[in-house]
């Protein structure tokens, strides 16, 4: 299959929109340049603004497989890159223990079939693919350095086996919630984009797209309330993911519009901290724009 | 005289633009510039919006850069493009956070001990922006910094991480064990083990530099510089008076004189009023909650003469206590005779503090270093 080519950022925007992701011009330009230049895309922004969803949409529009690597504290090369399948190696050794040719046996122990491909190796071996490295800020510095090495030459060197290089380099999307500063050496290789909260009109469009069966008035009300919550100086302002959850919850309860009673009953879908809920409950009327 | 043809050359234009960005503190280095020029080859370079986004995606590296980028872009390209709506992380991403003004409270509500005669100056609620001139250090002050470094050096507390280093008799290192087995023809001769790696615990200092703290802020900043020098990757320093300012970057300079001068320039509200609650909230929103305060030892140095909302301070202290490993409050008046933690701020914060320490002498800082080391 020929690789998908886009003429300009609006073309990318149109394709993303078709895939169910509504980008603004900044995101569309970022995606366009990442595809054109083969550069990793580094997305930062508050939790829940749709960083991960963008990677999924990019996989759809480029007809590529999405490979996701969720980072966590203590993640190591053996979880991100490759690992050897030890039990099978030992079984193989036991089965072939009587053979005379020791060198051949040793060589056969480190065969490709005993290699377990973890996300990064999967993405390199499988073309085309989108490699999503999610929440890099949760991993530690050592992991960043290692990632830098892999991204620099789109290849993995396995001492016992040799170098595995990508035929078509994967499109790499790195996301960060900014719980710590990611090292500049890594960022410098990437296109950097701060993903903002969507404006009112775009948020309404996104929610309508996700939950087409929800009443139009309800979607408008919820998007308006979400915008007011974001301005209300909360511990954790709701992201677009929360707006969608909240609308879904209200829709399931049969709401056609957002009224104080319904809002109070479903506030837990939008706000995840007790302090925030208590604070908003005190003044529900102003939340509803009254 | 600039050749008019050069003005149309994107390389010349972008190089000048990147230089202007660098001069304004954006990390637009030569690698990023090369990327920008390459990227411009892929888009319509005559469309200002495309140029804006291409430059922003390639030349910026963090949210703090974005407002600066917008300003320089406007100046450089003649303000042809209005800043896009909703495209900024706004104040949430800024390094210096403007806090809302607080109405002056009635004199009748003021705490009695705010009129203590020994005050250097009373806590005030007016926002006075003043840079502290820290450009010259006396030899004695230099010596003191070296002493503080020595004091902290071997003893910043450690924490366990999920990473393992080989050794000891804890978890089995499957990979190393099996590799040995394969070499030995499948015979299990010895088990390789792992034990958790230990890492220095993060240290966060929030220093109140308001008017009432001015006799002590100097020495506390020197202490902070020592902390950053000992652990440049794991120490974070903030100052608060009417605004929250992050001075870690400035204090990372190795030379104490340069570091403290840079910090003095960066702090816009030296000897201003005290709005600790709001400052702490800004810290938690921008840094603390996202990870800086998590599992950290957080030291707040303040006399607790809060002129903002004491209830807010209490709320934010509770939030901090839930995130941090240990909350230490350094009150310079703690060591004085007849001290009782009765200022509004102090009593609001008290339930959420693990250690309340003095901080008025080098001896007291010695004690602080001790607490940090054993936290």
Contact state of B89 with A196 under an 8 Å Cβ cutoff: yes
- Smallest CA–CA distance, residue A45 to chain B, in Å, is 8
B319 touches chain A (CB under 8 A): yes
- Closest partner residue to B42 among A36, A140, A197, by Cβ? A36
Give CA–CA dist B176/B192, Å, rounded.
Answer: 6
Mean pLDDT lowest among A210-219, B53-62, B119-128, B344-353: B119-128
Provide the pLDDT confidence category of residue B133 given band limits of 50, 70 and 90: very low
| Parallel/antiparallel/unpaired status of strands A41-44 and A171-176 | parallel
Q: Whole-angstrom Cα distance, residue A280 to residue A225?
A: 11
Residue of A nearest to B67 (CA): A194
Measured CA to CA, the distance from residue A248 to residue A263 in angstroms comes to 12
- Tell me how close the Cα of A65 comes to any Cα of chain B, in angstroms: 25
Rounded to whole angstroms, how far apart are CA atoms A81 and B151? Answer: 42
Nearest one of B183, B296, B36 to A160, comparing CA atoms = B183
pLDDT of residue B131: 44
pLDDT at residue A6 greater than cutoff 60:
yes
Which member of B38, B39, B66 has the closest CB to residue A194?
B66
Interface contact A274, partner B, CB < 8 A: no
C-alpha span between B208 and B90 (Å, rounded):
25
For A196-207, the DSSP string reads: PPPPHHHHHHHH
Q: Could you give the ipTM of this predicted complex? A: 0.74
* Whether A181 and B62 lie within 8 Å, measured CB to CB: yes
Q: Dump the DSSP string for B108-135.
A: GGS-GGGG-TT-SS----S---B-----
Q: What is the mean pLDDT of residues A132-140?
A: 89
Question: Where does the pLDDT of residue B329 fall: very low under 50, low under 70, confident under 90, or very high at 90 and above?
Answer: very high
Q: Tell me, rounded to whole angstroms, the distance of Cα B134 from its chain centroid.
A: 19
pLDDT tens sequence across B172-210: 788 888 888 887 777 777 788 777 777 778 899 999 988
C-beta separation of B320 from B352 below 8 A: yes
Taking a contact as any Cβ pair under 8 Å apart, which residues of chain B between 292 and 311 contact chain A? Answer: 292, 294
At residue B167, the pLDDT reads 60
From B126's Cα to the closest Cα of chain A, the distance in A is: 22
Q: Please state the φ and ψ torsions of residue A139, each to the nearest 5 degrees.
A: -75, 170
- Chains A, B: CB contacts within 8 A come to 123
Say if residue A288's pLDDT is above 80: no
Cβ–Cβ gap B42/A89 under 8 Å: no
Which residues in chain A have their CB less than 8 angstroms from residue B56's CB?
26
Please tell me which of the candidates A9, A109, A198 has its beta carbon nearest to residue B182.
A109
| Chain B CB contacts of A191 below 8 Å | 35, 39, 57-58
Backbone angles phi, psi at A286, to 5 degrees: -70, -25
List the single residue in A25, A30, A275 with the smallest CB-CB distance to B315: A275
Residue in B35, B57, B290 closest to A179 by CB: B290
- Asked if the Cβ–Cβ distance from B319 to A198 is below 8 Å, we say no
For residue B5, pLDDT over 60 is answered with no
Q: What is the mean pLDDT of residues B244-248?
A: 90
pLDDT > 90 in chain B, percent:
10
Alpha carbon distance B345, A219 (integer Å): 43
Nearest to B161 among A74, A196, A235 (CB): A74
Q: Tell me what pLDDT residue A149 has.
A: 83
The answer, for A191 touching chain B at a CB cutoff of 8 Å, is: yes
CA distance B309 to B151: 36
Predicted confidence at residue B339, as pLDDT, reads 74
Among B63, B69, B125, CA closest to B96: B63
Helix, strand, or coil here: A116? strand
pLDDT value of residue A250: 93
SS3 assignment for B43-73? CCCCCHHHHHHHHHHHHCCCCCHHHHHHHHH
The answer to whether the predicted template modeling score (pTM) of the entire model surpasses 0.90 is no
Q: Terminal CA-to-CA distance of chain A, rounded, Å?
A: 55
Query: Which residue bears the tokens 């957080």?
Result: B298
% of chain A residues with pLDDT over 70: 98
Task: Render pLDDT for B300-316 as a digit per residue (tens, 0 to 9).
Answer: 998 888 888 888 898 89
Check if the beta carbon of residue B240 is closer than 8 Å to that of residue B300: no
pLDDT of residue A190: 92
Closest listed residue to residue B173, CA positions, set A158, A107, A78, A162: A78
- Residues sharing a CB contact under 8 Å with residue B212, sequence separation 6 or more, in sequence order: B119, B120, B121, B122, B123, B274, B303, B305
Distance from CA of B152 to the nearest CA of A (A): 24
pLDDT exceeds 70 at position B269:
yes
């Amino acid at each position: 299959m020929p690789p998908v080519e886009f003429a300009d950022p609006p073309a990318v925007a149109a394709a993303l929109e078709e895939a169910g992701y509504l980008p603004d011009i900044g995101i569309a330009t970022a995606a366009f340049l990442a595809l054109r230049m083969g550069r990793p895309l580094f997305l930062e922004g508050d939790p829940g603004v749709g960083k991960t969803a963008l990677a999924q949409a990019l996989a759809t529009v480029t007809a590529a497989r999405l490979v996701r690597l969720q980072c966590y504290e203590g993640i190591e090369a053996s979880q991100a890159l490759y690992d050897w399948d030890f039990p099978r190696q030992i079984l193989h050794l036991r089965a072939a223990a009587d053979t005379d040719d020791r060198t051949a046996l040793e060589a056969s122990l480190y065969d490709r079939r005993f290699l377990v491909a973890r996300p990064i190796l999967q993405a390199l071996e499988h073309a085309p693919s989108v490699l999503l490295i999610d929440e890099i800020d949760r991993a530690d510095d050592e992991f960043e350095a290692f990632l830098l090495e892999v991204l620099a030459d789109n290849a993995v060197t396995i001492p016992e086996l040799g170098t595995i290089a990508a035929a078509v380099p994967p499109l790499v999307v790195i996301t960060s919630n900014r719980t710590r500063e990611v090292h500049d050496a890594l960022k410098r290789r990437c296109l950097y984009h701060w993903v903002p909260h969507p404006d009112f009109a775009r948020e309404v469009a996104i929610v309508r797209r996700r939950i087409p069966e929800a009443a139009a008035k309800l979607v408008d009300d919820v998007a308006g309330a979400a915008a007011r919550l974001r301005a209300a100086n909360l511990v954790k302002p709701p992201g677009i993911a929360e707006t969608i959850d909240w609308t879904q919850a209200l829709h399931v309860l049969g709401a056609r519009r957002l009224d104080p009673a319904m809002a109070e009953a479903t506030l837990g879908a939008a706000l995840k901290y007790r302090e925030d809920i208590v604070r908003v409950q005190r003044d529900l009327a102003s939340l509803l724009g009254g | 005289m600039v050749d008019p043809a050069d003005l149309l050359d994107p390389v010349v234009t972008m190089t000048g633009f990147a230089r202007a960005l660098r001069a304004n503190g954006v990390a637009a280095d030569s690698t990023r510039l090369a990327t920008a020029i390459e990227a411009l080859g892929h888009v319509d370079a005559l469309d200002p919006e495309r140029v804006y986004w291409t430059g922003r995606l390639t030349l910026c590296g963090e949210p703090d850069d974005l407002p600066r980028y917008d300003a320089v872009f406007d100046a450089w390209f003649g303000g042809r493009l209005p800043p896009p709506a909703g495209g900024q992380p706004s104040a949430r991403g800024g390094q210096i956070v403007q806090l809302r003004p607080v109405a002056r409270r009635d004199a009748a509500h003021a705490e009695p001990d705010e009129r203590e005669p020994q005050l250097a100056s009373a806590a005030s609620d007016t926002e006075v922006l003043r840079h502290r001139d820290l450009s010259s250090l006396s030899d004695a002050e230099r010596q003191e910094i070296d002493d503080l470094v020595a004091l902290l050096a071997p003893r910043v507390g450690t924490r366990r991480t999920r990473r393992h280093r080989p050794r000891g008799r804890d978890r089995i290192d499957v990979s190393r064990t099996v590799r040995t087995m394969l070499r030995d023809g499948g015979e299990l001769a010895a088990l390789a083990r792992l034990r958790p790696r230990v890492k220095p615990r993060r240290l966060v200092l929030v220093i109140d530099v308001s008017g009432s703290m001015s006799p002590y802020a100097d020495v506390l900043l020197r202490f902070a510089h020592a902390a950053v020098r000992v652990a440049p990757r794991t120490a974070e320093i903030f100052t608060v008076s009417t605004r929250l300012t992050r001075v870690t970057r400035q204090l990372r300079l190795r030379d104490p004189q340069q570091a403290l001068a840079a910090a003095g320039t960066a702090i816009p509200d030296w000897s201003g009023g005290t709005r600790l609650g709001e400052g702490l909230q800004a810290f938690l929103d921008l840094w603390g909650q996202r990870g800086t305060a998590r599992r950290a030892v957080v030291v707040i140095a303040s006399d607790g003469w809060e002129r903002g909302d004491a209830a807010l301070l209490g709320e934010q202290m509770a939030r901090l206590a839930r995130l941090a490993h240990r909350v230490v409050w350094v009150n310079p008046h703690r060591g004085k005779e007849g001290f009782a933690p009765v200022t509004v701020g102090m009593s609001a914060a008290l339930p959420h503090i693990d250690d309340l320490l003095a901080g008025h002498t080098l001896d007291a800082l010695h004690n602080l270093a001790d607490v940090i080391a054993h936290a």
